[in-house]
Amino acid sequence: METVQVGGRGLTYVRRGRGEPLVLVQGMAGHHGLWGERFLGLLAERFDVVAFNHRGVAGGGRVEEQFSTADLARDAVGVMDALGVGSAHVLGISLGGMVAQEMAIRFPERVRALVLGCTYAGPEGGSLDAPGPGRMAQAAAARDAVAAMRVAFEVNLSPGFRGREGAFREFVEVVLAQKVPAAVIGMQMRAALGHDAVGRLGRVVAPTLVVHGTEDEMIRVDNGRHVASLVPGARLEVVEGVGHLFWWEQPEATARLVTSFVASST
């Protein structure tokens, strides 16, 4: 993991592979490890992959003031600037999908192709009423770390995947591998609640793919359909039986989907 300076703050990232640049934007409480080694490795076979951590995450500087998804989009572009990446394909999931929307709207020349996973466009036509966030908040309030981790596992992954041997152990190991302060997670939640790109997604010019799992308990699948309906020419892929972390459950299929979409868009 390395560090670049963006806006007076050190943001951490990993970079691997060769090819056209692909920037990965993680979701709330996420860090680069949550992309999973298998998925990152597959993408690195075809792309120059940059997976950065949001401000305050995994050593990404001190955060004292509330930020917005637009601020996080500026961070992402700042990372690209620092690494000499003029434009890139962008994959953002959940909160990262909201950040990627802002990147495509505010910095259209920097986004070659856009993949938006398990995300939300805004309150008019969208909703953040899935049961997962509420369950996680209740678990956190109880101050039982083991129970909270179990709830996070349950609401982010589908029932079928959760039954695999060793799945929970691997999830815990990866989640705890990097520090994501609770205060930063709270700010990320407020940023997500304040996100509203509904009236602006029609400006997106980058070829766009929207991916959402039917078993998503964090952001309901109807939000994926909503996002796709707002972006001109967007392609929608609804993945049956998969939860919020669709790339974690299906790394090979997701890597193929991303790779083929980018290839068809260039």
Domain count, the chain: 1
Q: The dihedral of CA 120, 124, 125, 126: what is its sign? A: positive
User: Mean pLDDT per segment of 10 residues, for the chain of length 266 residues?
Assistant: 92 96 96 96 97 92 92 98 97 98 98 98 94 84 81 94 93 91 92 97 98 97 98 97 97 97 90
DSSP character at residue 164: S
Structure tokens that stand for 92 in this block: 């953002």
| CB half-sphere exposure, 139, CA atoms < 13 A | 17
Look at residue 198 in the predicted model and tell me its pLDDT: 98
Residue length of the chain: 266
Look at residue 147 in the predicted model and tell me its pLDDT: 84
Look at residue 256 in the predicted model and tell me its pLDDT: 97
Q: The dihedral of CA 14, 18, 23, 27: what is its sign? A: negative
Tokens 């792309």 locate to: 47
Look at residue 61 in the predicted model and tell me its pLDDT: 80
Q: What span, in angstroms and rounded, lies between the C-alpha atoms of 68 and 191?
A: 5
Q: What span, in angstroms and rounded, lies between the C-alpha atoms of 89 and 47?
A: 9
What CATH number should be reported for the domain holding residue 136? 3.40.50.1820
Structure tokens that stand for 1 in this block: 């993991």
DSSP character at residue 214: T
Q: What span, in angstroms and rounded, lies between the C-alpha atoms of 216 and 67?
A: 26
Residues 87 and 21 sit within 8 Å (Cβ to Cβ):
yes
Residue 25, SS3?
A: strand
Tell me the residue range of the domain where 229 lies.
2-265
Look at residue 64 in the predicted model and tell me its pLDDT: 87
Bridge partner residues of 208 (DSSP): 114
Look at residue 209 in the predicted model and tell me its pLDDT: 98
Tokens 């509904």 locate to: 198
Q: What span, in angstroms and rounded, lies between the C-alpha atoms of 68 and 71?
A: 5
Look at residue 139 in the predicted model and tell me its pLDDT: 78
The beta strand positions in the chain, using DSSP E, are: 2-6, 9-16, 20-25, 47-52, 88-93, 111-117, 208-213, 235-239
Look at residue 214 in the predicted model and tell me its pLDDT: 97
Residues 234 and 209 sit within 8 Å (Cβ to Cβ):
yes
Task: Give pTM, 2 decimals.
Answer: 0.95
Structure tokens that stand for 67 in this block: 């930020």
Q: Where are the alpha helices (DSSP H) in 19-166?
A: 37-44, 69-82, 95-106, 131-141, 145-156, 159-162
Residues 45 and 252 sit within 8 Å (Cβ to Cβ):
no
